[in-house]
Amino acid sequence: MERTLILVKPDGVKRNLVGEVLSRVEAKGYTIAALKMMQADRALLLRHYAEHEGKPFFEPLVEFMLSGPIVAIVAEGNRVIEGFRKLAGTTDPTTAEPGTIRGDLARDQGTKVVQNIVHGSDSVESALREISIFFPEL
């Protein structure tokens, strides 16, 4: 069964949207296989976001992800990686489709990094890598 890593980012937790995100995932029919609230540290985020190192938004992204607790979720189901990316919507919340998490719940805050409520793995390889970072016990 396919699995993906979902993160409710600090903006989502601060705005009390953890339940909203979980309920959209569950309503779609995916199963929550694991879930934890945590404060990320820098080392963990450098591993998670390694592909973005060197980009202009990298440091603001790490600082943002350190700015408060996050909720890490493993969701499970056939084609859940693709399915959650559709539920999340595109990266830029201003133009993300209404009906998606980012399109409905986020907007441009004028910050150096886009704040868009959720992370979702983008491929099978990313999902396996990211789940092992956030849930080494699984």
The contact set with ligand DAT (CB under 6 A) reads 57, 61, 91, 113-114, 116, 119, 122
Annotated active-site residue in 64, 119, 127, 134: 119
Q: For ligand DAT, which is the closer residue by CB, 57 or 135?
A: 57
Q: For ligand DAT, which is the closer residue by CB, 23 or 91?
A: 91
Q: How far is the CB of 130 from ligand DAT (least distance, A)?
A: 11
Tokens 């699995």 sit at which residue?
Answer: 3
Nearest by Cα to 127 from 34, 53, 57: 34
Nearest by Cα to 3 from 78, 85, 86: 78
Q: How far is the CB of 119 from ligand DAT (least distance, A)?
A: 5
Tokens 């390694």 sit at which residue?
Answer: 50
Q: How far is the CB of 7 from ligand DAT (least distance, A)?
A: 9
Cα end-to-end distance, the chain, whole Å: 14
| Active-site residue, 119 included | yes
Start-end of H helices in the chain: 10-14, 18-28, 42-48, 58-65, 80-88, 101-105, 124-134
Q: For ligand DAT, which is the closer residue by CB, 26 or 59?
A: 59
Catalytic residue numbers?
119
